[in-house]
Amino acid sequence: MLECRNCGAGAPVDKHFCQQCSRILALGRHGDYFSFMGVPRRLGVDLHELERRFRDLSRQFHPDYFYNASPTERLASLERSSYLNDAYRTLKNPSARIEHLLALEGLPPATSDEGGAKVPPALLEEVFALNEELDEIRELRVSGGDSEGLRVRLDAARAPIERKRDEHERLITELGDRWDATADTAPGERPATLAALREQLLARKYIDNLLAAIDREAAGLGVT
Amino acid sequence: MSRVVGIDLGTTNSLVAYVKDGAPMVIRDGAGDALVPSIVSIDDDGTIIVGREAQRRLLSAPGRTVYSVKRFMGQGVEDVQEASGLLPFGVGGDPGGVVRISVAGQEFTPPEISAFVLRELKRRAEEHFREQGEFDFEVDRAVITVPAYFNDAQRTATRDAGRLAGLDVLRIINEPTAASLAYGMASRDRGTIAVYDFGGGTFDVSILKVEDGVFQVLSTNGDTHLGGDDIDALLTAEVRRKIGGAAGDDSNDELIQAVRKAAIQAKRDLSSEEETELRLEPMAGAPAGYRQRMTRTDFERTILPLIERTLEPCRQALADAELGPSDIEEVILVGGSTRIPLVRRLVHELFGRQPHSELNPDEVVALGAAVQADILVSGRREMLLLDVTPLSLGIETMGGVMSKIILRNSTIPASGREMFTSYADNQTAVDVHVLQGERELVTDCRSLARFRLRGIPPMPAGMPRIEVQFQIDANGILSVSAKELRTSIEQTIEVKPAYGLTDEEVERMLIESFEHAETDIEARLLIEARNEAETVIHATEKSLCRPDFDQLAADALESGEPERITLALSAAKHALEGSDRDLILQTTEALNKATRHLAEVVMNRSVREALAGKNVRDV
């Protein structure tokens, strides 16, 4: 519950303006980007609708339109605009959106090792193998090895990782869809879906790091 | 109600504009000139001279004249060492402190010099409104533009300059975004656009998405030390090398400025001509009547590496916006340096489309600033600018690593927070070091400020929960607060950059400027009187030097009249040597009176000759 600093009326936490005196409300401790932007708490987000909401709310909050208002209202406008910008940036990006949902649902972030999520041992083995391969390619490159041959080796190393990434993308989308779909039908299944999602996200970070390492090595070989 | 204006405070030129009947327009002087050269000259008696007149003095009194001061805004001494080599004014200051410019035996900070330019623009606008017959012509509020890639210190310095000039700075906005607003007024209401802004001293590129009147910047990039100035410096160096001899002497300010002026003229010529001749006025150290043929091909070969430096920021901005060149629907050119054909060609190649330049690239930024000023005071909601912060902001953490709290290209206003803790048992204070930049190591980032959060109750290491909150306002200016959550000890600071002015300094300068205001007005009146006198003297001398003057005097003048004119002329010339304004006014007026009859006679004769000539041709 929020309290209007102008007229003292109470307002639900998701309201932006006081229903009684129509002044902009101070932000308070808000935590839910979905409800702030007035979109459902779903992983499948209609990006056009999200952008439309962003523009619409920007036109309501922006400090440009509170230039002559009271200091309280100016502060409220500044805080709401900042929060809106943060909310939009987070919800627009698929990974950030999942991270935000994890936090809302009380799970630790996918960046930490808390909460029991583990990278599958098979993936870790692949990480080690690839790192060895990359080290070898780097040494050969530095000692002036045949760059055409090294390029072929690098491409060969990249292919399976890319396949893996695509597979993870597909899984993440699938889990997201399941989480969205079970909102009304099977709420009991949802925590397990979310935990699985978190594990996939964690694994994907490893994959992304591997691909970045390959890209760096490719740049060293002069491949763009 | 007093007036609001939009100001483009440029490296080379500055302009002021306002919205009249819903449309933005720039304010011009009597001669139709909108550009006020951002040049300040200090006269022998301490008089401040700004604009065209100061530009002339760059040649006659280089040691008393400052230009391109925008390059030094918000900078520390360490930043400007290599830039200060060939400038006719001194650039120095204490290590770790703000830059100080020494000119004509006095020291100024860059915001003070900029404030002189702003005051001139304010005066020009007030004069314009007065001439329009406005009852309330005072200008006390302004939107001022800065390069999009300006950091926090540079923005704060600009805001300080506004305050010093007696302006309430309603908003600092980015130049490319301002330009897009001016274009948006006239063109279609949606699309993805790139603004390529290459000015006198800075380069910016911004990618925007425009929809339903919302101008949303997706990304921005640039270089705050790359502009037409660098092209001029390159050409000047090349010409001096070719001349050789005394031209190589770095202490010959007059000659360097003369070569620079000739080089700038050649640069301009080559925007429309394939070939030009660089000419140097005869002076010490220069071979008499020095001339040098220069083709556009030579010119382009010289400047190509400089222009190419603008392309990487463009690619980075596209990448940050997650767009390719083909996604850009319009390219807008802003800034005087975009008149160079090579610049247009390279921009065309990069984006694969013909760039727009319908609006005058010198004026478009001021027009946009005027539009934004109008939005702020009128509450009009058809258009909204959503800009971004060009550089990431963060704080120093263990091991000299920068931890980012707000990422670059975040839409502003923006906020961010991060939790920190102590590293020693019973630590009662924590130092917060605020940084700006993209690099990982603190030493590679811009240090914005340091402050100390005190009064933390003794606790084991790692126990305190210190929340550092960053808030960037709509001007792109940062404030930082820190709070220990277990005890609610809080400390808020407006980040006063290490290379900036303290509030006390700004206050003191303001008081001083009020004290100077009186003498400044007198100085201006004196300059105006001098200009008027010079005009009348020049016209009189021209008439007296006519080859047919003796005949004319015999035909039409009274006896003794030529002598009276000569007398009045020498009195006026004598008065001009001093600085007694009243005497100058009196003698000018007397000369005016003495020559009125002569002027009529000359005029009649010219008309007769013109008509006669026409008759001959008509026959």
Instruction: Say if residue B221's pLDDT is above 90.
Output: yes
What is the chain A residue with the closest CA to B372? A64
Chain B interface includes A215 (CB < 8 A): no
Q: What is the CATH number of the domain that holds B376?
A: 3.30.420.40
Residues B368, B271 share a domain: no
d(CA B167, CA B180) in angstroms, rounded, equals: 25
Question: What residue type is B42 in one-letter code?
Answer: I
Chain B interface includes A224 (CB < 8 A): no
d(CA A217, CA B113) in angstroms, rounded, equals: 50
- In the listed set B251, B281, B307, which residue is the last one of a domain according to the structure? B307
Residue recorded with tokens 């340096």: B337
Query: What are the φ and ψ backbone dihedral angles of B141, each rounded to 5 degrees?
Result: -135, 145
Instruction: State the average pLDDT over residues B24-42.
Output: 91
Residues B314, B271 share a domain: no
Residues B410, B348 share a domain: no
Residues B342, B237 share a domain: no
Ordered DSSP codes for B496-539: --TTS--HHHHHHHHHHHHHHHHHHHHHHHHHHHHHHHHHHHHH
What pLDDT score was predicted for residue A224? 39
**Helix (H), strand (E) counts: chain B:** 14, 27
Q: What is the CATH number of the domain that holds B488?
A: 2.60.34.10
CB contact under 8 A, B474 and A62: yes
Which of A58, A79, A83 is the closest to B384 by Cβ?
A58
Residue recorded with tokens 């004319």: B552
Q: Is the ipTM of this complex over 0.90?
A: no
- In the listed set B341, B361, B386, which residue is the last one of a domain according to the structure? B386
What pLDDT score was predicted for residue B507? 72
The residue of A58, A85, A112 whose CB has the most chain B CBs within 10 angstroms, and thus the best one to mutate to test that interface, is A85
Instruction: Say if residue B380's pLDDT is above 60.
Output: yes
What pLDDT score was predicted for residue B491? 67
**Count of structural domains within chain B:** 4
Instruction: Say if residue B367's pLDDT is above 50.
Output: yes
Residues B487, B571 share a domain: no
Chain B interface includes A60 (CB < 8 A): no
What is the chain A residue with the closest CA to B385? A64
CB contact under 8 A, B379 and A79: no
Residue recorded with tokens 């006081």: A18
What pLDDT score was predicted for residue B179? 93
Q: Is the Cβ–Cβ distance between B436 and B152 less than 8 Å? A: yes
**Helix (H), strand (E) counts: chain A:** 7, 2
Task: Give B88-147 pLDDT, tens digit per residue.
Answer: 788 888 777 788 888 888 889 999 999 999 999 999 999 999 988 877 888 999 999 999
Q: What is the CATH number of the domain that holds B532?
A: 1.20.1270.10
Residue recorded with tokens 């314009």: B128
Q: How far is CA B215 from the centre of its chain?
A: 24
Residues B176, B316 share a domain: yes
Helix H or strand E segment including B204: strand B203-211
Q: What is the CATH number of the domain that holds B241?
A: 3.90.640.10
Helix H or strand E segment including B467: strand B466-472
Give B380: exposed, middle or buried? Use CB within 10 Å, 0-12, 13-18, 19+.
Answer: middle
CATH 1.10.287.110 assigned to domain A2-92? The reply is yes
Secondary structure letter of residue A204 according to DSSP: H
Residues B222, B103 share a domain: yes
Task: Give B43-59 pLDDT, tens digit per residue.
Answer: 887 888 999 889 888 88
Q: In chain B, which residues have their Cβ closer than 8 Å to the Cβ of A85?
A: 410-414
Instruction: State the average pLDDT over residues B56-74.
Output: 88
B268 lies in which domain range? 228-307
Instruction: Say if residue B574's pLDDT is above 60.
Output: yes
Cβ neighbours, 10 Å, residue A5: 16
Which of A55, A59, A85 is the closest to B414 by Cβ?
A85
Residue ranges, chain A, pLDDT below 70: 111-119, 222-224
Instruction: Say if residue B618's pLDDT is above 50.
Output: no
Q: Name B93's Cβ contacts closer than 8 Å, sequence gap at least 6.
A: B76, B77, B99, B100
Q: What is the mean pLDDT of chain B?
A: 86
Which of B379, B384, B410 is the closest to A85 by Cβ?
B410
Residues B131, B261 share a domain: no
Task: Give B475-489 pLDDT, tens digit per residue.
Answer: 988 888 888 887 777
- In the listed set B386, B411, B443, which residue is the last one of a domain according to the structure? B386
Residues B465, B323 share a domain: no
pTM of the model: 0.80
Q: Is the Cβ–Cβ distance between B490 and A80 less than 8 Å? A: no
Q: Is the Cβ–Cβ distance between B38 and B165 less than 8 Å? A: no
Structure tokens at A2: 């929020």
Q: Is the Cβ–Cβ distance between B228 and B336 less than 8 Å? A: yes
Residue A188, beta-bridge partner list: none
Q: Is the Cβ–Cβ distance between B324 and B318 less than 8 Å? A: yes
pLDDT category at B619 given cuts 50, 70, 90 is very low
Compute the residue count for chain B.
619
Residue B470, beta-bridge partner list: B416, B480
Instruction: Say if residue B266's pLDDT is above 80.
Output: yes
Task: Give B401-459 pLDDT, tens digit per residue.
Answer: 888 999 999 999 999 988 888 888 888 888 889 988 888 888 888 888 888 888 788 88
Q: Is the Cβ–Cβ distance between A177 and A170 less than 8 Å? A: no
Residues B129, B247 share a domain: no
Q: Which of A80-94, B7-21, B380-394 has the lowest mean pLDDT?
A: B380-394
HEC-encoded secondary structure of B543-600: HHCCCCHHHHHHHHCCCCHHHHHHHHHHHHHHHHHCCCHHHHHHHHHHHHHHHHHHHH
What pLDDT score was predicted for residue B447? 85
What pLDDT score was predicted for residue A90? 94
What pLDDT score was predicted for residue B617? 46
Question: What residue type is B583 in one-letter code?
Answer: L
- Report in angstroms the alpha-carbon separations of B140 from B1, B36, B374: 10, 19, 14
Instruction: State the average pLDDT over residues B545-566.
Output: 86
Chain B interface includes A49 (CB < 8 A): no
Q: Identify the three-state secondary structure at position B175.
A: helix
Task: Give B223-261 pLDDT, tens digit per residue.
Answer: 988 999 899 999 998 888 888 777 777 777 788 888 888
Task: Give B167-181 pLDDT, tens digit per residue.
Answer: 999 999 999 999 999
Question: What residue type is A176 in one-letter code?
Answer: G
**Taking the domains of chain A in order of start, what are their residue ranges?**
2-92, 114-220
| Better-predicted residue by pLDDT, A127 or B562 | B562
